[in-house]
């Protein structure tokens, strides 16, 4: 990212900020690419939870671990500890519980972000930090959820679109408030910025919370994201000099 000041000579790699060098020096890297798949962390509701909740939790895990197509109703019931025949007292089909899982993920994410914003500091950068961290924390706790949402594009395309429209509407409202407070340039369309947030969050979360052992997006990665959002990606000051 551009940090200002003269550009490095072509034969030199761009300098890494000291903060990022120090933070990254402490990271454990495994393999040539530094990426290993994070182990799934089970989160099935307790046996005391209502049957519908246990089925929903079991379905979420199995869809994330195996995919929609490789999961059966019998698998979901076995994971939930519920007789297969009882499934149909709560859901009409595997397709219906899949839709319920995607919508629950969306509701949980929006609630996590809303809760984080309630205790966030003033200003758009603090709101962005709280929102990204809330998403990354949820993804660390349930690393399969992003895979489920991606698969929904093919299993339930209407619900896939609904998922992102619900998220981005909330983001866009926050951006518009920030524009009125003069924290964000009012020349930009709030919806464009909202989809940028969504794309950045998805891929940063995938890389560090889903693919990487330990499953946590490091703080310096979050700070790099916020710095790019704050500065944009302008050319070096002497580019046209």
Checking if the pLDDT of 161 tops 50, the result is yes
Query: What is the chain's Cα-based Rg?
Result: 21
Sorted by where each starts, the structural domains of the chain and their CATH numbers stand as 44-91 (1.10.10.60), 95-232 (1.10.357.10)
Q: Predicted confidence band at 8 (pLDDT cuts at 50, 70, 90)?
A: very low
- Residues with Cβ within 8 Å of 160's Cβ and at least 6 positions away in sequence, in order, are 102, 149, 152, 153
Q: Angle, to 10 degrees, between the axis of helix 219-231 and the axis of helix 18-25? A: 160
Which residue's entry shows tokens 């000291």? Answer: 18
- pTM for the model stands at 0.80
Q: Angle, to 10 degrees, between the axis of helix 73-80 and the axis of helix 94-118? A: 50
Q: How confident is the prediction for the chain on average, in pLDDT?
A: 84
Nearest to 142 by CA among 184, 100, 174, 112: 112
Higher pLDDT, residue 216 or 8: 216
Which stretches of the chain are DSSP H helices?
Answer: 18-25, 51-66, 73-80, 94-118, 124-141, 145-155, 157-180, 190-205, 219-231
- Residues with Cβ within 8 Å of 109's Cβ and at least 6 positions away in sequence, in order, are 134, 135, 138, 167
Q: Predicted confidence band at 233 (pLDDT cuts at 50, 70, 90)?
A: low
Q: Predicted confidence band at 44 (pLDDT cuts at 50, 70, 90)?
A: low
DSSP symbol at 207: I
Cβ(102)–Cβ(157) below 8 Å? no
Q: Determine the pLDDT at residue 45.
A: 75
- In tens, the pLDDT along 92-123 reads 999 999 999 999 999 999 999 999 999 999 99
Q: Determine the pLDDT at residue 28.
A: 40
CA 143 to chain centre: 9
- In tens, the pLDDT along 55-99 reads 999 999 999 999 999 999 999 999 999 999 999 999 999 999 999
Q: What would the two tokens of residue 199 be?
A: 């794309």
């Amino acid at each position: 990212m551009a940090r200002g000041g003269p550009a490095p000579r072509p034969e030199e790699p761009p300098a890494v900020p000291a903060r990022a060098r120090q933070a990254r020096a402490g990271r454990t890297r495994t393999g040539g690419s530094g990426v290993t798949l994070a182990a799934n962390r089970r989160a099935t509701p307790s046996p005391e939870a209502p049957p519908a909740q246990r089925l929903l939790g079991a379905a979420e895990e199995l869809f994330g671990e195996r995919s929609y197509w490789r999961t059966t109703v019998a698998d979901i019931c076995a994971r939930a500890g519920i007789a297969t025949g009882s499934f149909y007292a709560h859901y009409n089909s595997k397709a219906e519980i899949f839709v319920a899982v995607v919508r629950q993920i969306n509701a949980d994410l929006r609630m996590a972000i809303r809760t984080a914003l309630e205790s966030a500091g003033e200003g758009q950068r603090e709101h962005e930090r709280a929102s990204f961290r809330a998403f990354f924390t949820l993804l660390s706790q349930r690393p399969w959820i992003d895979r489920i949402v991606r698969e929904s594009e093919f299993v339930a395309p209407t619900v896939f679109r609904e998922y992102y429209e619900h998220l981005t509407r909330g983001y866009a409202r926050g951006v518009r408030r920030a524009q009125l407070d003069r924290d964000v340039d009012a020349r930009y369309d709030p919806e464009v910025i909202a989809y940028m947030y969504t794309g950045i969050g998805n891929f940063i979360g995938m890389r560090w919370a889903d693919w990487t052992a330990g499953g946590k997006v490091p703080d310096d990665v979050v700070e790099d994201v916020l710095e790019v959002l704050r500065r944009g990606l302008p050319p070096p000051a002497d580019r046209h000099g």
